[in-house]
Structure 1
């Protein structure tokens, strides 16, 4: 009897103990999940790490370091070393700064920066979509808003391609929710310009809209054949969250150039391509005319299928990079110029620019990229 009672007591104790540890484990998991869901103690943002100052930067996979003056993005495998006597600031992905003085190499991990987030745009990654094929220049295809979301209450600038042979346009914004009958919410007829900011336009959050343009040469914007040119408006609370984040970004002690780039990247991560482009185009008008600014505008246009609009920005990026001696920016912009010409069917021009890019990557010690471009050039030569 005593033995049976003892067995029951031991079993009960084991059950209680197991329940305690399981409950503790669950509570720990809940606390951990809650902690991960909370914003950081600083900005609550997730940015692409960036360095400012005068420094040597050795990219992962390259044989040597490159001298940078100004601002540059930093990836987890990169090594950064200040120029002797210079102060360098590294901004982590949460916006917190790290001040570097010592003439030694640093990495994001050695500086205690949080894990690097996925960047909004990747030159050879899945986040950048290749543009559509070139379209008839008589088509008034849409430039903005295109494949983007908009902030609640914003007044978008409507832009379209100046169609060859056209003198006036009929412009409409159509509500095109799936399962609902299409509804024209704004219209302008016999309009002679290619840019307009509509008055008295009320756009509802979560609704899909489409900007359409008909030219008097009987060509329509949708004749370009692209299927993802619509846009939506985000909710008022989400808009408020983004605007608060912008205020926090404005408080960072960065150069105007770096702030414009960080804000544009942040907007792009939220799907606000229109605002990202506008941010950088405004920066250019304020004399922040650097290679990385021009190239990033090109990347944004390229990402929404506008290769022709991207080309002049890549061209200017090449010029600015050459003037400043920034070999990395030269390589990046030259490569993308080649890709734009390849898209336009101009293979000889494409090969010329890609060969120029290959030369710059070789100077950077990026032999993997040199090999990749060699294969690309060989494919275009067939």
Structure 2
């Protein structure tokens, strides 16, 4: 079979125009045996409201386990409700809610179509939003004015732009610079660790901007080694989304606020924002919900995930720890996900022993669930960390 496929590809390469060739190639790629499909890899929705007992079974789980608010759903997941239960999910493809029927087994793909690839259109093409979450130690230190906000995010146009950075001990003055890839846009000097952009030079959509902060203690935000890959469009910078994107997102957000309330609305809104790369907006709505006196595992977990994505790992760690304390003992899958994330965050921060402890907890839960790919990935991470400890 492989030989016939190879010959077919050669024929295509000789007679097919380049623009059509890329699409056709996808139909001839043979996945490896037992490979997990893209349908399983990409979440298509999230549970935003649960009343009563709800149970979930993934394609490789041996049995059903309780499901809770905040659980992400994959296309092949199977869900069943007891006669007195209710469940609402938000679907990522159209941002509509899905209310599951009672007394039957439902499959997520019946209610939520497969999610589109997560990317934002930029001058560099369709750029993936997520960043690699591997175990590579990050070199952020407290003695440099590393940027906190806006960091690795798209922004809505026509909103006040506030820059915040880490306050450096003994620093009394900071010089703040905004630059594009081709020119310096703005410069000012302040005594606090934040400043509002004057807006005297309007920022444009489709351009990646970088903020540089120099402290009078002879340290700079440039001293932070970028944790983002060179292929990442945003890096530690920011960009404005287009007017058309803004209108589309605002229309969807208005629909969500009209149809939902409380935690369900906040989770859906934050998901909408971060799926469109608006990490700063997502953080703002989640943290505002907490400031209003609402403390839930799902809200803390989502904040941990966003801070991990933008590589502010101390904040990610703090939110994950709050989430893992609140999550129910029956939520085996949810707890495993947070414990695995904590293990990676601690490893990235250089705390190897603590990382090993959390990764072992997650390893045991994934083995219980039958999530063998996740289990095996954690096993490799554990072996690497244990080897590093032995060398120290």
**Structure 2-normalised TM-score?**
0.74
- When residues 112 and 99 of structure 1 are mapped into structure 2, their CA distance, relative to the original with a 3 A threshold, is closer
Matches within 5 A, 1:1-382: 48-51=44-47, 52-53=49-50, 54=52, 55-92=54-91, 93-109=93-109, 111-118=110-117, 127-130=130-133, 133-163=138-168, 165-178=169-182, 182-189=183-190, 191-192=191-192, 194-199=193-198, 202-226=202-226, 228-253=235-260, 255-322=261-328, 325-382=330-387
Relative distance call for 1:246 and 1:69 in structure 2 (3 A) is same
**Structure 2: distance between partners of 1:372 and 1:233:** 36
In 1, the alpha carbon distance for the partners of 2:129 and 2:89 equals: 27
TM-score w.r.t. the length of structure 1 is 0.76
Distance (Å, rounded) in 2 between the aligned partners of 1:98 and 1:231: 33
Contact preservation (8 Å) 1:146, 1:229: yes
- Measure, in 2, the Cα distance between the counterparts of 1:221 and 1:363: 44
- Whether the aligned pair in 1 keeps the contact of 2:324 and 2:335 (CA below 8 Å) is yes
Q: What are the superposed Cα offsets for residues 277-307 of structure 1, whole Å, 9 maximum, x if unpaired?
A: 2122122223332222212212112212222
Deviation per CA, 1:67-101: give whole Å up to 9, x if none. 12434322101000012322223444424444334
Q: Is the 8 A contact 2:139 2:225 kept in 1?
A: no
Report the secondary structure of 1:271's partner residue.
coil
1:2-40 deviation line (CA, Å, top 9, x unaligned):
xxxxxxxxxxxxxxxxxxxxxxxxxxxxxxxxxxxxxxx
Unaligned runs of 5+ in 1: 1-46
Q: Deviation of residue 348 (structure 1)?
A: 1.3
Asked if 2 retains the 8 angstrom alpha-carbon contact of 1:172 and 1:187, the reply is yes
Task: Decide whether aligned partners of structure 1 residues 374 and 209 sit closer, same or farther in structure 2, where only a CA change above 3 A counts.
Answer: closer
* Displacement after TM superposition at 1:224 (Å): 0.6
Q: Go from structure 1 to structure 2 and tell me whether the alpha carbon gap of 1:197 and 1:112 turns closer, same or farther (over 3 Å shift).
A: same
| Shift of residue 258, structure 1, vs aligned partner | 2.6
SS in 1 for 2:88: strand
Q: 1:344 to 1:373 in 2, by over 3 A?
A: same
Q: Distance in 2 between matches of 1:374 and 1:321?
A: 24
Instruction: Determine the C-alpha separation between the residues in 2 that align with 1:379 and 1:144.
Output: 33
SS class of match (2:350): coil
Query: C-alpha separation between the residues in 2 aligned to 1:148 and 1:126?
Result: 9
Shift of 1:352: 0.9
Structure number, greater radius of gyration: 1
- Report how far residue 186 of structure 1 moved: 4.7
- Tell me: CA distance 1:347–1:129, structure 2 relative to 1, closer, same or farther (3 Å): same
SS in 2 for 1:263: helix
For structure 2, which runs of at least 5 residues remain unmatched after alignment?
A: 1-42, 120-127, 229-234, 388-392
- For 2:240 and 2:115, locate their aligned partners in 1 and report how far apart those are by CA, in whole Å: 28
The whole-number CA distance in structure 1 between the counterparts of 2:326 and 2:262 is: 17
Q: Cα–Cα, structure 1 residues 274 and 217, in superposed 2: closer, same or farther, change >3 Å?
A: same
Q: 1:137 is paired with a residue of what secondary structure?
A: coil
Does the CA contact (< 8 Å) of 1:173 and 1:187 recur in 2? yes
Does the aligned pair in 2 maintain the 1:170–1:214 contact within 8 Å? yes
